[in-house]
Structure 1
Amino acid sequence: MSNVPWLTILGLIPLVGAVVVAFLPSAETAKRAALGVSIVTLLVGIAAASQFEIGSSEQFQLTEQYAWIPQFGVSYALGVDGIALALILLALVLTPVCLLAAWNDLDGEALRHENGSGRRVQTYYALMLVLLTFMIGVFAATDVFLFYVFFEAMLIPVYFLIGSFGGARRRYAAVKFLLFSLLGGLIMLVAVIALYFVGPGGPDGFLVSNLTGVDIDTNTARWLFVGFFIAFAIKAPMWPVHTWLPDAASAARPATAVLLVGVLDKVGTYGMIRFCLQLFPEASQWATPVVLTLAVVSILYGALLAIAQSDMMRLIAFTSISHFGFIILGIFAMTTVGGAGASLYMVNHGFSTAALFLVAAMFIYRNHGRQHIEDFGGWQRVTPALAGVFLVAGLSALSLPGLATFVSEFLVFVGTYQRYPVAALIALPGVVLAAVYVLWMYKRSMTGPRPDLGRLVPDISLREKLVVAPLIAAFLVLGFYPKLALDIINPAVERTLVYVGVEDPAPTQATPGSER
């Protein structure tokens, strides 16, 4: 157990910052303060990550544990393995990027809301910081009940960020998001309570370490697996419980959409690794054929629907349904390569989706809020630098070799093919479909004759360069040197497979003389 409560400190900084930002008198001061708090949190997160020992024999590091509700076996227990650490760092990087990207999002409202606009800006930025606290908590929780608390608490800031600050259909999208999430959370709560009674019990009865390897009746374990999996599938989002995502992502402010799709939805796939596989190994193997089928459907269905979209933000949202299918495919392939690819994909998808959403929003802002692809055309002649960034973001989304997502997608396919070659081959057209929806969107919106806008439209600004620079840097660094992340992730993946009780398939060996 670390002497410094790094994870508690990491969660408290944005929470305290949110309180301060909410009561600042000036909207501009609130923006600067929120950005400063997020950068400080990132620096503390880097300092905490420097204490993480790669290759440690312990599953969780930077651990903290205190009794919380001992009568019910609940502890305030935090800790991270390589996968959780990578996702927390993803959240820490994307939050200041999103806050900077949202700098002018509410400026138009400032002219329409007398004596109220400044408070709305403060509330928006405060909610973003509160959301960061909950994101850190949900990935760091090593007590199942504490995880559930953070899992549900995230709904509160997201609901208000969409419902109060989103677009025309914000109320519908916020309510739909809330209803889907509450349904999944309610099902998981039943499973969480049941898990306590079939587990070892006691004052630490909800600790992941105490629940791992517990002998649970086969039918009971399978029902518990289903309870957790449904909640995580909704959060992921996975077909057929995905329909809330396109509405929420297109109605939300772009910065909110980035954190929703780029980080929050990873709670679903992270939960599958941490809880479904680790706590219910036999049930995970039992459910694998069905899960792989749903994952393949998500890959192809999400890609086909993305191609059919005319709204730029909805198109990007549907691409994520396809990408999450790849992640789930790698998780339930239950191979070291597939698990590493899925875990890396969670990180790379966060950066890729952030770039697509934020750059698309920059174009929409310049086009007076119009976000239908048909409302564009020829914009690479108007804003060539910004169009170039959009192309790079799109190439990352279609997994171009040399960019980060290629490595993770390649590992998922290789790892899946090792154990389930049919599923890998059926999912393979998803790669081609990704090229279709990205390049077709770019062709329709960016190429062609120069549009007659009747006004001077500025190209990418300094603030926008600061927004996209870390994202493109992540594409390139993790694309050419994925070892940086894989060294952290791999030990956690290997340990999870040990808990599940599976080994990588033996490589096929050529028989003597077969080379002839």
Structure 2
Amino acid sequence: MNATFPVLTTMAIVPLAGALLLWLVPPLRRQGRVIGLLFALATLGVGIWTLAVFDASQAGAIQLTETHSWIPMLGVSWALGVNGLGLAMLLLTAFLVPLVLLASWGEIPADQQGLFSGLVLVLEAFVVVIFAARDVFLFYICFEAMLVPVYFLIGRFGGERRRRAALKFLLYSLAGGLIMLVGVVALYVYGPRGEGAYLVENLVGQITASTTAGRWIFASFFIAFAIKAPMVPVHTWLPDTAEQATPGTSVLLIGVLDKIGTYGMAALVLPLFPRESAWAAPVILVLAVVGIIYGGLAAVAQDNLYRLISYTSISHFGFMVLGLFVGSQIAATGAMVYMVAHGLSIAGLYLVTGFLARRTGTVAISELGGMQRVMPLIAGTFLISGLASIALPGLSGFVPEWMVLTGTFSKSVPLGVVAVLGVIIAAVYVLLPYQRVFTGAPARERVGSADLDGREKLVLVPVIAAMLAVGLAPAPLTDAFEDVAGQVAAAVEAPGETAALATVPTAPADPAVAVVIAEGNTK
């Protein structure tokens, strides 16, 4: 349905307005933490409003659409709209940003809170547009623009080698963006052109490129999203960045921004290039399972908790890509639920590790031990988040991982067997560090260290509650993703039926029209 009120644009404007307020009124920066939190909560409120007006019965269709001509000469539009997947990613972003800002009160100096909060709010505004963009050019502009606040979040705040890590992140991301730019230009050359030339619904089935050219265009988008995801072998920027960034920045970077990679594959690559996706799927699936195993083994070998968590994410992204490209609706649904579940578990792991680091002054596993006796709440939160990440039944990671594995086995037993090995490795990279860090007798200098305070509990309790909600009641997510996953799986499984299977439906505004369409589809 079309939006009677531009709710998605509003959701992008609210955090941007907060950032502009902090920038244009310097005295307010002294209250940066409060102002940032208020605008982040307001954005969450708009997100809840968006959920309330979204028609869950048509979650596979693009809804709340807004389309306005922006650059007519190039056919570029300000076009927003969301299906079930896009809405879930918007809500995940809006949920995590206030928690990150609240957690940062203990890690960012008061005189820097205005800058930190402003950068986070600008980043949130760009991310909202990315997850709601229906115009490929608009998507690309925000995909590139978000690098600016992320670069400063990493390079200005964090560890001693933060500037080097920020530069590495920027170089990898810019390389991916420049490669994507080639594809964006090619879409105009081989697309329908005219008004709305970059609208996804106008491009689907209308790209006239030859087989070779189509594969190169596909590669330009896929490589950019593989870097962002991150997939092996273009993953090496992530551990260095996560080690040096603040825990809150890492939550946004891995829990939200890296999902743009897998989201882009589902929302752009597969609908626009179904034949090319089916052609490349065997290689992509091999890279996905390599990432699952490599990420897990690399995590086991780490002594730094931040690097360990980043490598576990590389393994988890392998599961997501596997689910998207294996050609199974169940697996694709699981991959989409995985995107949400991973965002929650990674938030728990990074934030509680940050709280631990503030008290101990280290994240080196070899320098810690016995923390459970000193900080039982920190130990318990780390364990719950870790168990969620390795798919313990009842927590957020179980259902998506089970669905990805089930769908994978239905298509390829060898791929499924290798993926299961990744599950076994996961138990090692979570339980072994927990044993080394939290069990045993604490060192003398650790005795008397404070456990979680009230603010930190306020940060972590919603995250744990969300893990339990997704784990115990996943139906709202699986139902919201089912139709979208069907379109994704069909694009890989039956590339010859591009126009019918890979289309991006838009929910009709009039219910009577929907009935007519439904009746026509059954004939």
How much does 1:334 deviate?
Answer: 1.7
Kept in 2: contact 1:213–1:499 (CA 8 A): no
- In the alignment, the residues of structure 2 paired with residue 21 and residue 417 of structure 1 have an alpha-carbon distance, to the nearest angstrom, of 52
1:164-203 alignment to 2 at 5 Å?
A: 164-203=156-195
Counterpart in the other structure of 1:4: 5
Residues 232 and 287 in structure 2, CA contact (< 8 A), matched pair in contact too = yes
Q: Counterparts of 1:6-405 in structure 2 under 5 Å?
A: 6-22=7-23, 23-25=25-27, 29-56=31-58, 59-107=61-109, 118=111, 120-216=112-208, 217-368=210-361, 370-405=362-397
Q: Which sections of structure 1, spanning at least 5 residues, go unmatched?
A: 111-117, 504-516
Amino acid corresponding to residue 37 of structure 2 in structure 1: L
Asked if the contact 1:306–1:318 (Cα under 8 Å) also holds between the matched residues in 2, the reply is yes
**Percent same amino acid at aligned positions?**
49
Q: Note the alpha carbon deviations across 1:68-101, whole angstroms, 9 max, x for none.
A: 1111111110010111110110000000011111
C-alpha contact (below 8 Å) 1:24/1:30 kept by paired residues: no
Q: Displacement, 1:492?
A: 1.6
Select the residue among 409, 415, 422 that pairs with 2:414.
422
- Deviation for aligned residue 1:298: 0.3
AA of the residue aligned to 2:140? Y
Question: For residue 465 of structure 2, what is the aligned residue in structure 1?
Answer: 473
**Rounded Cα–Cα distance in structure 1 between residues aligned with 2:243 and 2:492:** 38
Please say if residues 159 and 178 of structure 1, whose CA atoms lie closer than 8 Å, have aligned partners that are also in contact. Answer: yes
- Return the TM-score normalized by structure 2: 0.92
**5+ residue gaps in structure 2?**
496-523
More helix by share: 2
**Residue type of the partner of 1:39?**
L
Paired residue for 1:113?
none
- Report the alpha carbon displacement of residue 498 of structure 1 after superposing the two structures with TM: 4.3
Task: State the Cα distance separating 1:213 from its structure 2 match.
Answer: 1.4
- Secondary structure of the 2:231 match is coil
- Read off the aligned partner of 1:418 and give its amino acid letter: S
Matched residues in 2 for 1:336 and 1:455: separation? Answer: 52
**CA–CA distance in 1 between the matches of 2:449 and 2:60?**
55
Q: Is the 8 A contact 1:5 1:64 kept in 2?
A: yes
1:456 is displaced (CA, Å) by 2.7
Check conservation: 2:326, 2:489, Cα contact below 8 A: no
- For residues 174 and 350 of structure 2, the distance between their equivalents in structure 1, rounded to whole angstroms, comes to 26
**Counterpart of 1:239 in 2: which secondary structure?**
coil
Q: CA deviation at 1:349?
A: 0.2
- Cα distance in 1 for partners of 2:82, 2:317 equals 22
Q: TM-score, normalised by structure 1?
A: 0.93
Post-superposition CA distance 1:355-386 (Å, at most 9, x none):
00000111100012x11111210000101122
Alignment deviations for residues 299-338 of structure 1 (CA, whole Å, 9 cap, x no partner): 0000000000000100001100000000000000121101
Q: Give the secondary-structure state (helix, strand or coil) at the position aligned to 2:113.
A: helix
Q: Equivalents in 2 of 1:497, 1:454: separation in Å? A: 52
Contact 1:238–1:321 (Cα < 8 Å) also in 2: yes
Equivalent position SS for 2:27: coil
Shift of 1:51: 1.0
CA gap of 1:159–1:453, structure 2 versus 1, over 3 A, is same
Rounded to whole Å, the distance in 1 between the matches of 2:26 and 2:138 is 31
Q: State the distance in 2 between where 1:174 and 1:57 align.
A: 37
What is the CA–CA distance in structure 2 between the aligned matches of 1:164 and 1:94, rounded to whole Å?
Answer: 21
Return the offset for 1:500. Answer: 5.0
Question: How well do the aligned residues superpose, as a CA RMSD in angstroms?
Answer: 1.4
How big is the shift at 1:493? Answer: 1.5
**What SS class does the counterpart of residue 404 from structure 1 fall into?**
coil
CA displacement, residues 247-298 of structure 1 (integer Å, 9 cap, x when unaligned): 1111111100000000000000011111111000000000010000000010
For the Cα contact (< 8 Å) 1:341–1:409, is it kept in 2?
Answer: yes
Give the AA of the match of 1:170: R
State the 1:182 CA deviation: 0.4
Q: Which residue of 2 aligns with 1:411?
A: 403
